[in-house]
Structure 1
C-alpha cells in the first residue's frame, strides 16, 4: 500500500462517499507487468474505489522492427530484470474479466465512473468519453505496441535531461483530451531502466489523482498539446550508436563500482561558503572549505548557539561503509572540526538541526532504518538522545520540520517502490504536533510534488518577508543532485500545496564540479555542497 493510503480513506466526521467505480483496460489478463499489477493492487486495497472489471481490448498492431525488438529484449535481460511482484489485496484473484465487445453490448459502461488504460491498445477512446470522469491514459503507452516498448529510448538517445510522464483524460461529447497530471524524471543511462523507473513512479501519480477524484468528485484537466506525433522506435543507426554508448557506460560504471567496493573512491562531495541570501547570492563567490584527512562532506546545516556558528553535515571517507553526522565551527572561511555529533549502525545524512523553545533537535536521514527519527541535544553539540520516531516501516529521506503561522509541518521524501527505490521523486507533507511527533496528519494530496526535478528537499525551508521558500534538488542529466531550485511556497494547508520555482543554481561555480544539491543560510552567510567529478581534484 502506498504511503498516503496507509493513513486511511476517511477521517472522523467525514460522510462516507460511494466508491469511485473503475474499470481497467488491458490487452491481456495474464503476464501483466509489475507496474500494472501494483496499480491494480492498490486500487483494490483502497475502499475509496471499486474495481468493477478488467476489460480485454485489442492490442496496438506492431510498429517496431524485429531488430529493435531483439536489441530491447537483450537490454531487458541484462538491465531490466525485476523481482516478482507479490499482490497484497485478497481480491486480486477474484477480478472480473470481460471482453470489450461484451462490455459495449451489455451496457456495463453505465456502471462506471472512469476507465484506466494500462496497455497500448487499438481502441477508439470515445467509447468511454461519456463516463463521468472519462478515460485515463498514460503517455508512455504511445511508445509501445503488443510486442515491444520503446518508451525512454528517445530521451536517452537525444540526451534529454529529464523524461516526461503525463496522465491524459478523454471525456465529454466531443472526446476532448486534457492533461490531468504530469511530472519529469531524471533520464537514466539505460533506456529500459528509464522506462521501467517511470512506470513505477506512474503508480504513485495515478493513485494521487484517483484519491483527488474520490475526495473532490471532480477533475480539472489542462488543455493538452495537440499536433505532436508520438515518437516511433529508434532508427537502426540511432539504435546502433545507443548500444555502443551503453556498452561504454556500463564499463565505466563497472570501474566505479569496483573502486567503491575496494574502498579507494567515493562520491567526492565538499562544502563551499560565501556571503549572501539564498534568494540572490552569487555562487561564483563561494569559497571551498578544504576537507581534512580525505573527508567528504555533504548536506550542511548552519546553527547558531552562544554566539557561534556551527555546521552539521554528513561526513565519510572512501574507506567507510556508511556516513555519520559531524559538527564543526565556522570561523570565517574555514571549519574547526569539533567531532562526531551522531553515529549509528545505519547510514546517517541530512542533519536538519532546529530549535523549539529551549530545546535543540536534529532530524537526520535514517531511511535505511525504515523510520523517521528525531534526536534531542543533551549536551550541545556532541551528545544527543533519541526523542521520537514516526513513519515506522517506511523509507523517509531528507526530512525537515518547520513552524508556519503557528502550525508545524513535516516535509519528507518517501519512497514507495518495488524494483527502484528512489527518494528524489515524491515530496510528502504532514501537519504534526511538533518534535514529539505524537500525531501526523497527511496532506490530502500526498505526494504533494511528484518528479525528480523538484520533489526532493535540498536544504532548510526558510521565510523571508512573510513568504515561505523550500530549497529542492534538481535531479536531471542522469546525475543525482545535479542542481538546486529555490521554490516559493504559494499555498500551504491540508487541502492544497502550491509552489513555484524562483531560482535555479547550476554546478558551474567551481572547476571540476558536476553537481550541487544542498543549501542553507544564516545571518547573511550561505553554505552549499558540490560534488567533484574526480576526487583527486578535491583532495590534491
Structure 2
C-alpha cells in the first residue's frame, strides 16, 4: 500500500521522523512524506517556554518535540504516484475521492491544537477519522501535568502509537470515552473547529505567559505527607482524608517523593526518593517513625551514579529486600540489606535493557509476580503495564 504522511515542513520534529520510520517498517507499506510548508503551528512564544522548561526541569534536549532539519525525511521523498491512503497531521488535505485519515485533538487538527489543550489543563482525545467516521481513538496521558513540553512530547509519542496501530490494524475501533475529572478550577473546553480561532490563540498566548511566570517564581517541588489515622485508614475510608496531614520537612534544596513505609522488628521505617536539586537526580533515604512522627530527617541509604526512586522494600525469610526504580540505568535490580535500613548490596538483575518504572512484587500461588510500567517510544513512563513471573 502506498501511504502518504502529510506534515508541516516548516516545523519538522523528531516525532515526525520517528513516526515515518515506524510506518515505513510495517509490512507492505511504501511510505512517502508530504512536507510542504503549512499555515499555523506552535507559536514562537511556546518554543521559548519549551527552552525554559528544558533548563529548569532538566528535560532531555533530544525529545520527541525537538526540531530537526527536514533533510532527516529525505529517505521518504514524495511519490510520483497517488497514495492509497493519506494520514493528515495538518488538516489541509481534501479527500477529493481519495482515502484520507485526519488526526484531530478534541476535534481540532494540528499540533497547536494539542498544545492549547495541554495549556488549558485538558486530557485530549486523539482521534483518527475519515469523513466523520472514527478509525481509531484514545485518551492521551502524561505524568508531567503542568510541564507543557514534557506533556507535549508524551502526547506526540502516543499519537504515533495510535497512528501505527491504526495502519497495521491493531487499533480497536471502539474505546471507552473517559470523562474529564471534575474540578472547579478547570478551564472551559476547547471550542470545536477546524482551525484555532483568534480568541483561542490569544488564550493560548496568555497561558504561555502564565507558565513562564510560574517557572520563574515557583521551583518544582514534591512533598511527602503523613497523618495519624486515629481509627479508620484508607482501606476503610476509600478516600484520602482532607485534613490532618503533615509534611515530611525538607531543607529546600531537595524534595521527598515515593514514600514507602515498612514495619521490621517492631520499628516503622519510611523510605523515600530523595531528589537533590543541585545534582538533578535522586538517591534513596530513610527515616524511623515513632508515635509522634519522624524521628529526625531522612538519611541516605543507597546512592548510585544514576537516578533512583520508588524504593519497593519487603521482608522474606527474615531478611529485607528492595527493588528500587532504576529506569535511568535501563534495569530492574534486586538488593538485600546487610545493615537495615542501610547496607544494601545488589543480589541480581531482574530485567535489563528496559525502561521500567515502579516495579512492584507479590508472592501468590507459589510464584513471585512483578508488575511494572514500561515506556514506549519516548512517551510517558506509565504507557504500558507489564507482568512477569
Q: Which residue of 2 aligns with 1:221?
A: 174
Distance 2:69 2:316 in 1: 44
1:51 and 2:9 are equivalent in the alignment: no
Q: Which residue of 1 aligns with 2:223?
A: 269
Select which of 71, 75, 79 maps to 1:98.
Answer: 79
How many residue pairs get aligned? The number is 356
Unaligned 5+ segments in structure 2 are: 52-64, 179-190
Does the aligned pair in 2 maintain the 1:178–1:223 contact within 8 Å? no
Select which of 36, 42, 48 maps to 2:16.
Answer: 36
Select which of 103, 121, 141 maps to 1:138.
Answer: 103
Does the aligned pair in 1 maintain the 2:224–2:259 contact within 8 Å? no
- Provide the aligned C-alpha RMSD in A: 4.4
Select which of 400, 410, 413 maps to 2:371.
Answer: 410
1:280 and 2:251 are equivalent in the alignment: no
Select which of 249, 264, 280 maps to 1:291.
Answer: 249
The alpha carbon displacement at 1:314 in A equals: 1.9
Distance 1:223 1:25 in 2: 27
Distance 2:245 2:8 in 1: 59
Q: Which residue of 1 aligns with 2:95?
A: 124
Does the aligned pair in 2 maintain the 1:169–1:179 contact within 8 Å? yes
Pairwise mapping of residues 291-440 of structure 1 onto structure 2 (< 5 A)? Answer: 291=249, 296-315=255-274, 322-337=281-296, 339-356=299-316, 359-389=319-349, 392-403=352-363, 406=367, 408-414=369-375, 416-417=377-378, 422-423=380-381, 425-432=382-389
Q: Which residue of 1 aligns with 2:138?
A: 181
The alpha carbon displacement at 1:164 in A equals: 0.5
Relative distance call for 1:373 and 1:44 in structure 2 (3 A) is farther
Pairwise mapping of residues 253-268 of structure 1 onto structure 2 (< 5 A)? Answer: 253-256=215-218, 267=221
1:72 and 2:43 are equivalent in the alignment: yes
Deviates more, 1:302-311 or 1:355-364: 355-364
Relative distance call for 1:233 and 1:252 in structure 2 (3 A) is same
Distance 1:360 1:330 in 2: 18
Does the aligned pair in 2 maintain the 1:346–1:369 contact within 8 Å? yes
Relative distance call for 1:170 and 1:219 in structure 2 (3 A) is farther
The alpha carbon displacement at 1:366 in A equals: 2.2
Distance 2:276 2:146 in 1: 27
Distance 1:210 1:409 in 2: 32
The alpha carbon displacement at 1:429 in A equals: 0.9
Relative distance call for 1:73 and 1:189 in structure 2 (3 A) is same
The alpha carbon displacement at 1:331 in A equals: 2.0
Does the aligned pair in 2 maintain the 1:179–1:224 contact within 8 Å? no
The alpha carbon displacement at 1:76 in A equals: 3.3
Does the aligned pair in 1 maintain the 2:330–2:354 contact within 8 Å? yes
Distance 1:395 1:86 in 2: 29
